[in-house]
């Protein structure tokens, strides 16, 4: 290996993003809002491993889905030969865990999860190889009520996030028998129009013809629009279920359109399917998808158990939030502690802990490689930290048992420097910050009451 090679920088994996500190406040706001909304509907969090046996996805998602065919990160564990896969989605893992721990023994469960998913796709805007989903799974519920509740929960979330450009598309894909009857007619129809089918559609014609309806190819649009509609093949029970969902949504003032061509990527869905879509993200406009998956739990060897859920794409929703132009509070601290001399440094540690005891966010100046430790450069650091206050402990302060408290953002405050007894600094700062907070609610200070 040449000298050169050794020092070459290693870069991250293509399509897998670093989420940098500048974006952290946005992620936090998003995650906190979602958690609060989920909790307000009685959902409980479940955390499953990122790695699962490959067979779980092959069986759960269906062998002929996009994910299983070409998007999975699968590998052999060289230690023991196990076939493993980085989870491409979480429903299969959650259902596995529910069965493994018999979570529904005492009744149905409302669950949610969050975390990274992995799909080997071509990276582009809104499509990454590691991306994040937050999802909910309601397991053991039979009626259209839970389908509607999940949808309403999403609507509340968009409202709370200030997103008003997301619309709901709804469909029912019936049960297996209904789909089979439809499928026979659909394949016959596509065969009559074989000359219009693109390569993808040709391939799916006999493996997964329903997915052809989902095509984005403009050349096929008209032909696909006129194809036999699954909705016309629904039996009494599926129809009643679907009408039940729509009824609750209408009553709850949730606007939607029935899109008879809407199907979902995974094999396990039945009856209700839905997508939340926006026109603001180019061709990656689906921010959340979900539906009912009554057959899945039995497919995994459990007792027949109905279920319904959704998964939202975090990156796509964050892009929408950024596009609103709203400013998100940054990670600024309340105070930056500047000190000079050995005695002051030791005092600074004591003071910083006291301020944190009082609920304040405090950055203590520490020696760094690329800056001096003189007063001036410490004050520069204090400024750059975005702190509301600098607290200065020099030799004089230590000798007199005081600290100097300096306002860093002093537009409206007359005196911008005060000498405060060492023991009173915490009280003083809390008073100042609460006062400033009442004075100006737009400023995000991190005092925790």
Binding stretches for ligand ATP (CB under 6 A): 89, 119, 121, 126-128, 131, 133, 265, 284, 286-289, 311, 313, 315-316
* Residues in a beta bridge with 138: 110, 308
Nearer to ligand ATP, 94 or 425 (CB): 94
Residue number, 287 or 445, with CB nearest to ligand ATP = 287
Tell me how far, at minimum, the Cβ of 127 lies from ligand ATP, in Å. 4
User: Closer to ligand ATP at the Cβ: 133 or 378?
Assistant: 133
* DSSP 8-state symbol, 289: E
d(CA 54, CA 57): 6
Nearer CB in complex with ligand ATP: 71/185: 71
Shortest spacing between CB 314 and ligand ATP, in angstroms: 8
Q: Answer positive or negative: Cα dihedral of 312, 316, 318, 171.
A: negative
Question: Could you tell me the smallest distance in angstroms from the CB atom of residue 72 to ligand ATP?
Answer: 12
Q: At what angle do helices 54-61 and 91-100 cross, to 10 degrees?
A: 110
Give me the sign of the Cα torsion angle 216, 217, 218, 222: negative
Q: Which distant-in-sequence residues (6+ apart) come within 8 Å of 158 by Cβ?
A: 164, 166, 276
Q: What would the two tokens of residue 114 be?
A: 């969050």
Minimum distance, C-beta of residue 288 to ligand ATP, in the bound complex (Å) = 6
At its nearest, how many Å lie between ligand ATP and the CB of residue 217? 14
Closest approach of Cβ 264 to ligand ATP, in Å?
A: 6
Q: Which residues contact 154 (CB under 8 A, 6 or more apart)?
A: 168, 276, 288, 310, 312
Task: Using the minimum distance from each CB to ligand ATP, give the nearer residue, 86 or 288.
Answer: 288
Please check whether residue 444 is in contact with residue 334, taking contact to mean a CB–CB distance below 8 angstroms. Answer: no
Select 128 or 300, whichever has its Cβ closest to ligand ATP. 128
φ, ψ for residue 201, nearest 5 deg: -70, -40
């Amino acid at each position: 290996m040449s000298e050169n090679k050794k020092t070459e920088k290693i870069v991250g994996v293509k399509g897998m993003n670093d989420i940098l500190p500048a974006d952290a406040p946005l992620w936090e706001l998003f995650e906190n809002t979602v958690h609060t909304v989920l909790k307000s509907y009685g959902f409980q969090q479940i955390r499953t491993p990122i790695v699962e046996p490959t067979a779980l996805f092959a069986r759960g998602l269906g062998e002929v889905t996009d994910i299983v065919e070409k998007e999975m990160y699968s590998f052999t564990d060289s230690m023991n030969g196990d076939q493993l896969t980085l989870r491409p989605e979480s429903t299969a893992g959650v259902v596995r865990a529910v069965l493994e721990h018999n979570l529904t023994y005492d009744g149905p469960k409302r669950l949610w999860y969050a975390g990274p998913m992995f799909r080997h796709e071509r990276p582009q805007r809104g499509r990454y190889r590691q991306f994040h989903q937050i999802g909910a799974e309601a397991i053991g519920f039979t009626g259209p009520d839970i389908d509607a509740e999940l949808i309403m929960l999403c609507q509340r979330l968009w409202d709370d996030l200030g997103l008003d450009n997301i619309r709901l598309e709804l469909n029912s894909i019936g049960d297996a028998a209904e789909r089979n009857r439809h499928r026979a007619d659909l394949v016959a129809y596509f065969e009559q129009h074989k000359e219009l089918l693109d390569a993808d559609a040709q391939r799916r014609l006999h493996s997964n013809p329903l997915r052809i309806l989902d095509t984005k190819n403009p050349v096929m649009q008209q032909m696909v629009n006129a194809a036999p509609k699954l909705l016309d093949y629904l039996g009494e029970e599926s129809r009643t279920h679907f009408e039940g969902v729509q009824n609750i949504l209408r009553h709850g003032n949730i606007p939607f359109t029935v899109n008879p061509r809407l199907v979902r990527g995974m094999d396990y869905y039945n009856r209700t399917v839905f997508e939340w879509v926006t026109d603001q993200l180019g061709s990656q406009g689906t921010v959340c998808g979900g539906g009912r998956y009554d057959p899945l739990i039995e497919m995994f060897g459990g007792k027949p158990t109905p279920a319904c859920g959704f998964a939202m794409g975090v990156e796509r929703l964050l892009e929408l939030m950024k596009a609103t132009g709203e400013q998100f509070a940054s990670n600024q601290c309340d105070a930056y502690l500047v000190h000079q001399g050995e005695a002051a440094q030791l005092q600074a540690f004591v003071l910083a802990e006291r301020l944190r005891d009082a609920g304040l966010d405090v950055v203590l100046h520490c020696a760094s490689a690329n800056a001096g430790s003189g007063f001036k450069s410490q004050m520069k650091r204090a400024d750059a930290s975005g702190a509301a206050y600098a607290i200065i402990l020099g030799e004089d302060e230590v000798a007199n048992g005081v600290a100097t408290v300096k306002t860093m953002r002093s537009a409206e405050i007359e005196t911008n420097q005060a000498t405060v007894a060492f023991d009173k600094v915490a009280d003083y700062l809390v008073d100042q910050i609460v006062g400033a907070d009442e004075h100006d609610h737009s400023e995000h200070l991190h005092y925790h009451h």
